[in-house]
Structure 1
């Protein structure tokens, strides 16, 4: 359904009298000649007529702009919820009954923010690959430059080497731990990877020249990549995941500081567009955590208010996420359990985590990663009958059933399409278990069939 802009603005003005809110109706458009309506915002400074907003560069948005930063951290979602509920009531004449949230990455963090700080906003929240513990995540992302060095450093490996040399070696050592050789490490926690076997041999004082081997210095660097981040000797953020190097991103391993982390340090932490991010160090990591602008860390462990109002939280994380360590989602799950002194059974009543093997950051990858988390190509998928809206295969409808019928999901059935194209049919399916249970092969059946796997 599309609500006409003028009807929307009229409803806003009726709902929020100018004597109190001085509302303006803002139409947020895309980068096209024809603005399209997405949402409406209220502000003393907004114009009274529809206006198109042009996206600015990162430094223009965040540099010395605490109000914009507040919008990014929490206020944009919360304001949209409040206005959206009022609009629903005004337009349909009846109030909403339930509200749901679905987001991934920063969207996942914003979902957790709603759980922690605005527990009345949503009845059910699906948060994927959440960028929680945000400050340590930025430090971790930036720290890889200190480990790999620039492209001309002796220790540096190209993205091609990570994908075509390191990744096959990781699979050689760890792929069959789960009993199936399929290019998917079902439980990366069990992997103990050692790159020393890739070191080029020396003959007659000369090192072998071979594209399939690496130097001893590069092997040492690889080991460091797979270690957690410590700040002044204290654990700060978990390691890069084994198997994720198959989708290695130049964002983290391109021989420069991650542009996302670099922008945050320049425009938020130091408020200096000219700050030299190559000088970042452990003192920088400590400073960003100390600042914690508007509690962007999103790391509060007490979510009892959300629990007590019968809210439901479903989180998922791809186990080959190349941008955010999936171990961090396990950390937060365990952090909540410990702080609230819950048994696993008690936590299961309102909060469940699903580890999606072979899923990259939010989507894609070698595994059965399609779990209803993305609407990309959804129209074609529904038309072809390959995108299921059933709660067994879809995290959002699973959440709706949990909230409205009290049926909590024990597994999520993921789908891998041939060449990730639904038009080419299903390659295989796999049921992903709720944490801390492990998806386990029975050793007998066809590994492409979900019935051959169980939760143990």
Structure 2
């Protein structure tokens, strides 16, 4: 009897092994067959191949286009690369990653966003999504590279950037996933940061029926104001050598000045300002006295102090028209320094105005930027790229869930931009937060810079964050994406967003970031690196 039982067990093991091998072979074959089996209008299949977990995937990106050139696959999957025509003069590259365990992981679809001027596919977000069992789609937003040059005299490419590439990639991506698995998608999600955050809210505004859950981080909504504020930075600081310019070391001193003046407001000295709105920096603290210089006393001239004060003040245009809130008062990351204050106009504004708005390669922020330019940009609002609509009734009626978060140390897009958008939605829809919470929640994240990194509990498992050392070792159960899944599929609405401080790949602190308008507040006792030492209060 024992011998027979052993034979039966061995037989089942062999049968299971053969079955698994057969399924894997069939999966690979179905993947390669997509070149013939998947047909869609205006779509060319560029590649259909099986990719094993751990494979170094290389991408056909030109060397100079600032896009990711390779990524490590985090799942066994089928990779499909498509070129979809959107007009006679434009097209979008779409990548579809479909893991082997899709059916057993909930049959979920995930769309990823872009960044900057939009021509880079977020491959790291895609590979991470497949590790959780999502079928994931990414696209190049209608042109190659994070540059505005392809906009030049090509309005259809601008249209793709504004919204059409996202819409097109979503449609074709879902079609490919359903075809490949011979099954309907259960739930559809979106995740993106910066320009990707804007794209997510654009979807919520214009085609919310395509997504059950949208995660929008540091969104570049009110796009023209974001571009204007960034462009105005150069006008405030001037180039190196000008009386108004601060060098890198001087900006470090400004950061330390802000920390010294405002860090203690929340009751914890940790280089993190929990509520930047309570911080009103006084840069005159760094003003040089008679006979003093930066070299002798690490101080600033009156012109430099005025530069700092202007940067930490709201932006107004012609006739006192409000353009944008002030920059966040605590911005340490040097990518922000180089991008905003390095003495060179930011490329996003320069290339947007040059190639999209004016179609004039000779135009430049240095010589041509003024508030008339900004007014013209607002008036044109090319293909609705402004993404300013605050009536989200269609999203509410569609039962689409929206989770927005923004780092309070963002050096690129001020977090006050997201506060303004949220409050605008509340006013426009006539919904107080208690009712807005049913479908739209906003989480300010103290200590998070632009999309990723920072001095606080910045890691929330969001877009662009999984390239950080140690990030893949963190349980994704309470990541922002899986938090959205629980909200959509189980009706568990998040009151807090779990953040972790990552230093050298090691988690050194945790915090539960409260949903707006509640405030994440230190209890006054306990280790501030523990989430239990904080609570949500009304003020």
Q: Distance in 2 between matches of 1:103 and 1:445?
A: 35
Q: Distance in 1 between matches of 2:467 and 2:70?
A: 22
Cα–Cα, structure 1 residues 375 and 418, in superposed 2: closer, same or farther, change >3 Å? Answer: closer
Cα–Cα, structure 1 residues 6 and 186, in superposed 2: closer, same or farther, change >3 Å? Answer: same
C-alpha contact 1:301 1:339 (8 A) present in aligned 2: yes
Deviation per CA, 1:361-388: give whole Å up to 9, x if none. Answer: 0000101111111453489644xxx412
CA RMSD in angstroms, aligned pairs only = 2.7
C-alpha contact 2:229 2:324 (8 A) present in aligned 1: yes
Offset of residue 220 of structure 1: 1.3
Specify the alignment match of 1:352 in structure 2: 441
C-alpha contact 1:337 1:343 (8 A) present in aligned 2: yes
Q: Distance in 1 between matches of 2:148 and 2:198?
A: 21
Cα–Cα, structure 1 residues 250 and 381, in superposed 2: closer, same or farther, change >3 Å? Answer: closer
Offset of residue 40 of structure 1: 2.4
- Equivalent residues in 2 for 1:27-426 (5 A)? 27=47, 29-31=59-61, 37=79, 39-43=81-85, 55=144, 58-163=147-252, 165-203=253-291, 209-210=295-296, 212-232=298-318, 233-245=320-332, 247=334, 248-278=336-366, 279-373=368-462, 374=464, 376-377=466-467, 381-382=471-472, 386-391=473-478, 394-419=479-504, 421=505, 425-426=506-507
Q: Which has the higher strand share?
A: 2
Deviation per CA, 1:252-302: give whole Å up to 9, x if none. Answer: 111122111101111011101111321200101111111111100011011
C-alpha contact 1:370 1:416 (8 A) present in aligned 2: yes
In the comparison of the two structures, how many residue pairs are matched? 435
C-alpha contact 2:255 2:332 (8 A) present in aligned 1: yes
Please, which runs of 5 or more residues in structure 1 have no aligned partner? none
C-alpha contact 1:411 1:432 (8 A) present in aligned 2: yes
Q: Distance in 2 between matches of 1:35 and 1:324?
A: 28
Please, which runs of 5 or more residues in structure 2 have no aligned partner? 1-26, 49-58, 64-68, 72-78, 96-139
C-alpha contact 1:162 1:246 (8 A) present in aligned 2: no
C-alpha contact 1:202 1:208 (8 A) present in aligned 2: no
Q: Distance in 2 between matches of 1:140 and 1:375?
A: 25
Deviation per CA, 1:289-324: give whole Å up to 9, x if none. Answer: 111111000110111111111110001101111100
Deviation per CA, 1:337-380: give whole Å up to 9, x if none. Answer: 10000011110010011111111100001011111114534896
C-alpha contact 2:43 2:82 (8 A) present in aligned 1: no
Comparing both chains, which one has the higher relative contact order based on Cα–Cα distances under 8 Å and sequence gaps of 6 or more?
1
Cα–Cα, structure 1 residues 85 and 161, in superposed 2: closer, same or farther, change >3 Å? Answer: same
Cα–Cα, structure 1 residues 324 and 9, in superposed 2: closer, same or farther, change >3 Å? Answer: same
Q: Distance in 2 between matches of 1:67 and 1:27?
A: 25
Q: Distance in 1 between matches of 2:181 and 2:312?
A: 53
Offset of residue 171 of structure 1: 0.7
Offset of residue 35 of structure 1: 10
Q: Distance in 2 between matches of 1:38 and 1:366?
A: 38
